[in-house]
Amino acid sequence: MLPVLRSSWALLLGLMLLMVGNGLQGTLLGVRGALEGFSTVEMSVIMSAYFVGFLFGSQLAPGMIRRVGHVRVFAALGSFVSACLILFPAITDPIAWTLLRVAVGFCFSGVYITAESWLNNATTNETRGQALSLYVMVQMVGIILAQVLVGVGDPSGFILFIIPSVLVSIAFAPILLSIAPTPAFDSTKPMSLRQVYQTSPLGVVGIVIMGGVYSAMFGMSGVYGTQAGLNVAQISTFVGAIYLGGMLLQYPIGWMSDRADRRGLIIAVAMITVAACGFGMTGMGGFPGILVSGFLIGGMANPMYALLLAYINDYLDNDDMAAASARLMFLNGLGAIAGPLVLGALMDRIGPAGFFLFIGALMAVMSVYGLWRMTRRASPGVADSGTFTPLPPTTTPVVLDLAQEVWIEASETAEAEAEAEAVRSAG
């Protein structure tokens, strides 16, 4: 990974600062909303709004970049993000916050797409997988560091909103100073939803479910903490535990994914998440018990998106991966929009336990559906499976393109090695 760090350290640093800013405002709004007297349902709408904007941004930003260029889009959207973050404490109204969250989600999606385009352009076939691994690690580290910053100020004041605005602004410098010209986006004709579902029913259902699970973790964990009576330090520690688990367990799960039946691993990971949610609902162990639950939930749920995509790609030809990914990203976005809305209504009725119940119920559905799918057809053998590639749960078209190139390269390498082995055996 050293060659990637040497060539892209400034870009990765800028991306990490963006994630610190984004992660900080996500947790902070959950706390500040409670202080302002916003209801759980209102907060769920506000948190869902981010994913509405993110989904639209992922669809529209590539066209904007084609028209005016990467640098202009990056600078314009980044400026809007910085301004919106300052406006949250100035306009404490649920409708205003909802509109601001849509704008922030849209702008962050475009900013990520632009920065990731430069990262993709800076890699080669040999370093692309390493770059993607570093990118996932940078995302997780950024969100964890954001939780540390939550405790440096008063959530009822302005300083904690100024910090992410400043961080996002500072992030422009290393990125813009390290970029090179980036090729234009290629347009891809997507597969129909029916075709994608017929390719891998479990994969499609799982992708939708994970959209809801991830948006619940990212958007509603702060709301859960305030409902559960946790203080600011405890809330930030709980959110940090979720992403620490995701960072530490991403690679062991990926290692197992390349050596075991992938569908069986999906079911097992889902079941462990259900058990962790059940433990969290009981409240056993007090706050340390909640941290253990958060660590396991994050550790299981965060790698699941990449695991599902790897499983779907096991059934796809290399030429179909990009087309299928466009549909999968859209379905994941729909799940992410619905997640906070459903969770907010549930928590409004039964209280903070609804946070664990919601995630546990979704993962239970995935595990049961996976078990049923085992009765319908066999999984590809381990020898026929592609390579696991780590991915962030909130993906953009650029990250998916990068991952597809890694998958295709690994697939072609494996085929070449198999052919060479066959020739040696025949000789």
Angle in degrees, CA 250, 309, 77, rounded to 5: 80
User: Does residue 104 surpass a pLDDT of 80?
Assistant: yes
Q: Residue 130: its pLDDT value, please? A: 72
Give the pLDDT mean for 335-344.
94
330 Cβ partners below 8 Å, 6+ apart?
55, 59
For 123-158, letters b (16+ CB in 10 Å) and e give beeebbbbbbbbbbbbbbbbbbbbbebbeebebeee
Confidence of residue 341 (pLDDT cuts 50, 70, 90): very high
Whose CA is closest to 51, among 73, 72, 22, 13? Answer: 22
Q: Flag the least confident range among 92-96, 192-196, 210-214.
A: 192-196
User: For the chain, what is the mean pLDDT?
Assistant: 84
Q: Residue 423: its pLDDT value, please? A: 59
Q: How many residues does the chain have?
A: 427
- Check residues 58 and 226 and name the one with the higher pLDDT: 226
pTM of the model: 0.86
User: Does residue 153 surpass a pLDDT of 90?
Assistant: no
- Check residues 301 and 59 and name the one with the higher pLDDT: 301
Give the pLDDT mean for 148-158.
85
- Check residues 188 and 266 and name the one with the higher pLDDT: 266
Helix and strand numbers, DSSP H then E, in the chain: 14, 0
Give the pLDDT mean for 340-351.
94
User: Does residue 188 surpass a pLDDT of 60?
Assistant: no
Q: Residue 386: its pLDDT value, please? A: 64
Confidence of residue 238 (pLDDT cuts 50, 70, 90): very high
User: Does residue 26 surpass a pLDDT of 90?
Assistant: no
Q: Residue 66: its pLDDT value, please? A: 80
Give the pLDDT mean for 314-327.
72
Q: Residue 244: its pLDDT value, please? A: 92
Q: Residue 264: its pLDDT value, please? A: 92
Q: Residue 347: its pLDDT value, please? A: 95
CATH dotted code for 2-181+191-426: 1.20.1250.20
Can you give the C-alpha Rg of the chain in angstroms?
A: 21
Whose CA is closest to 227, among 42, 341, 351? Answer: 351
User: Does residue 70 surpass a pLDDT of 70?
Assistant: yes
Q: Flag the least confident range among 103-107, 193-197, 350-354.
A: 193-197
Q: Residue 38: its pLDDT value, please? A: 94
pLDDT digits (tens, 9 = 90+) for 353-388: 999 999 999 999 999 999 999 988 887 766 666 677
Q: State how far the Cα of 217 lies from the Cα of 297, in Å rounded to an integer.
A: 9
Greatest mean pLDDT among 6-10, 35-39, 132-136 lies in 35-39
pLDDT digits (tens, 9 = 90+) for 255-292: 888 788 889 999 999 999 999 999 999 888 899 999 99
User: Does residue 309 surpass a pLDDT of 90?
Assistant: no
Q: State how far the Cα of 150 lies from the Cα of 29, in Å rounded to an integer.
A: 11
Q: Residue 420: its pLDDT value, please? A: 63
94-98 long-range contacts (CB < 8 A, ≥24 apart) are 94/38, 94/42, 94/45, 94/46, 97/29, 97/33, 97/38, 97/46, 97/49, 98/45, 98/46, 98/49
Domain boundaries in the chain? Answer: 2-181+191-426
Q: Are 393 and 305 in contact (CB under 8 A)?
A: yes
Confidence of residue 310 (pLDDT cuts 50, 70, 90): confident
User: Does residue 297 surpass a pLDDT of 60?
Assistant: yes
Q: Residue 425: its pLDDT value, please? A: 65
**Furthest CA-CA distance within the chain:** 77
User: Does residue 213 surpass a pLDDT of 90?
Assistant: yes
pLDDT digits (tens, 9 = 90+) for 383-424: 666 677 777 666 666 666 666 666 667 666 656 665 666 656
